[in-house]
């Protein structure tokens, strides 16, 4: 079995069909179909059922997909670790989109202190940051609560409140949970449990109009006048078409922190970068 076959298989699974995967891989369909048949023959199992429009993974196919992703990630990490030795001093950072404005000032200060350092940035969600750390693709990453972590070190950066965004807001004053409970709410699913728990603690039942997987989607819906979006305060600069109001509930907040793996061989740039946050 070759790494190339694993890459082909990942493309087929993620695209949902061999024809779409062939287009993504810039190859014709017959050679890709042949590679998949060879892979199944080598493993001795059927990996997926070929439907008229898309493939359906078998149980064995799902297990193999998960293992293939792990192998490909480890391979990428090994190549990256090796390239670091010859590439000089590079800081590999994982940054969530809402934390970027908060972290950039520290990177600017670090660049002044260490002008020879270059940066490789990986963007993604907090959960994607976990994977990047686990596979040693990044040296350090920003994350945000709520999240469950183990076998990592953390450093607090800041705690910020949630805000509400709505086209109909005529004031920038704070808004109570009671008032919010009377509005159709648009929730970023990441914070669903936190938001519902706070409403429950105040004996209120929110009107959940929409749930989505991206805070920017929640904002877009609010910009269409469909409801009131709730998300972290760091999203406020993006609210150019909607008015925002701070939510009068101190417990409705999230913590932003830095996370890195415990290791006897920490990257040389990790300690000086963390030193910038000693006064936080």
pLDDT at 84: 55
- pLDDT at residue 165, as a whole number: 95
pLDDT of residue 238: 87
In tens, the pLDDT along 205-219 reads 999 999 998 888 999
Whole-angstrom distance, CA of residue 119 vs CA of residue 188: 30
Whether residues 216 and 240 share a domain: the answer is: yes
Q: Give yes or no: residues 191 and 124 share one domain.
A: no
In a domain, 60, yes or no: yes
Is 67 found in the same domain as 100? no
What is the rounded CA–CA span in Å between residue 77 and residue 183? 47
Same domain, 168 and 186: yes
Task: Indicate if 153 and 122 belong to the same structural domain.
Answer: yes
20: in domain:
yes
Counting as low any pLDDT under 70, the low residues of the chain are: 80-88, 264, 279-280
| CATH at 33 | 1.10.10.10
* 117 and 237 housed in the same domain: no
Residue (of 215, 221, 146) closest to 183 by Cα position: 221
Whether the Cβ atoms of residue 157 and residue 256 lie closer than 8 Å to each other: yes
Report the pLDDT value the prediction gives residue 193, as an integer from 0 to 100.
92
Domain assignment present for 195: yes
Identify whether residues 21 and 62 lie together within a single domain.
yes
Query: Do residues 102 and 237 both lie within one domain?
Result: no
- Is residue 183 domain-shared with residue 142, that is, in the same domain? no
* pLDDT value of residue 279: 63
pLDDT value at residue 182: 95
pTM for the predicted model, two decimal places: 0.61
Q: What pLDDT is stored for residue 265 in this prediction? A: 72
Residue 78 token pair = 């090994």
Same domain, 45 and 167: no
261 with 154, same domain: the answer is: yes
Residue 280 lies in a domain: no
Q: Do 180 and 245 fall into the same domain?
A: yes
Does 212 reside within a domain? Answer: yes
Domain count of the fold of the chain: 3
Domain that includes residue 154, residue range: 87-158+256-275
Spatial neighbors of 229 by CB under 8 A, at least 6 apart, are: 164, 165, 166, 185, 186, 187, 188, 215, 218, 219, 221, 222, 242
CA–CA dist 185, 231 (Å, integer):
11
Query: Quick one: the chain helix, strand, coil %, rounded to 5?
Result: 45, 25, 30
> What CATH number corresponds to the domain at position 271?
3.40.190.10
């Amino acid at each position: 079995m070759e790494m190339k076959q694993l890459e082909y298989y990942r493309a087929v699974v993620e695209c949902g069909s061999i024809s779409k995967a062939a287009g993504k891989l810039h190859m014709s369909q017959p050679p890709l179909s042949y590679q998949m048949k060879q892979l199944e023959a080598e493993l001795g199992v059927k990996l997926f059922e070929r439907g008229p429009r898309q493939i359906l993974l078998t149980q064995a196919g799902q297990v193999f997909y998960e293992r293939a992703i792990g192998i490909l990630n480890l391979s990428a990490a090994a190549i990256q670790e090796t390239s670091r030795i010859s590439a000089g001093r590079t800081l590999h950072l994982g940054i969530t989109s809402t934390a970027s404005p908060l972290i950039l000032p520290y990177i600017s200060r670090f660049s002044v202190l260490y002008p020879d350092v270059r940066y490789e940035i990986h963007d993604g969600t907090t959960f994607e940051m976990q994977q990047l750390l686990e596979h040693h693709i990044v040296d350090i990453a920003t994350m945000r609560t709520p999240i469950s972590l183990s076998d990592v070190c953390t450093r607090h950066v800041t705690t910020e409140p949630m805000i509400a965004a709505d086209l109909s807001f005529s004031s920038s004053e704070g808004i109570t949970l009671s008032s919010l409970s009377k509005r159709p709410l648009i929730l970023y699913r990441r914070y669903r449990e936190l938001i519902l728990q706070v409403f429950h603690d105040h004996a209120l039942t929110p009107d959940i109009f929409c749930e989505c997987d991206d805070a920017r989607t929640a904002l877009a819906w609010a910009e269409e006048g469909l409801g009131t979006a709730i998300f972290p305060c760091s999203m406020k600069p993006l609210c150019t078409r909607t008015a925002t109001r701070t939510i009068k509930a101190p417990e409705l907040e999230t913590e932003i922190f830095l996370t890195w793996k415990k290791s006897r061989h920490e990257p040389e740039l990790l300690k000086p970068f963390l030193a910038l946050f000693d006064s936080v």
